[in-house]
Structure 1
């Protein structure tokens, strides 16, 4: 089991930004869904949403960072 290392504010930012990155190509704001940029944005958004929901970021673990308070 992984140890949570993403704090509350970080979770909210990740979920909101991730949702925006997923929706941008779907709504045609940045690129089309079938373009490479659209696919990359949607994958990045999915990663952000996923790490926000599970409160764990593998990159934070690698670099020894955490935004979660210990209280």
Structure 2
């Protein structure tokens, strides 16, 4: 469906950051800005799907070149 444009290291970092932000949301007490930690859904989803809409708009890719 979407063109793969997220490479290996980028993908792993996105998944780790996403999980860390969501864990912080669920395991910390609430505060005024606590809900902002839900932004972790975005890097987690883009890492799991190996595609980033922002990369597509900017014409970027971190995937190795296909021969």
Which category describes the TM-score, using the shorter chain as reference length? 0.7 to 0.9
The TM-score normalised by the length of structure 1 is 0.83
Residue correspondences, number: 66
Q: 1:61 aligns with which of 34, 56, 59?
A: 56
Q: Which runs of 5+ in 1 are unaligned?
A: none
Q: 2:33 aligns with which of 15, 27, 37?
A: 37
**Match of 1:70, SS?**
coil
From the superposition, tell whether residues 36 and 68 of structure 1 become closer, same or farther in structure 2 (CA, over 3 Å). farther
The TM-score normalised by the length of structure 2 is 0.87
From the superposition, tell whether residues 36 and 48 of structure 1 become closer, same or farther in structure 2 (CA, over 3 Å). farther
| 1:24-68 deviation line (CA, Å, top 9, x unaligned) | 12111xx52xx55222211x1111110000000000011111101
**Match of 2:62, SS?**
coil
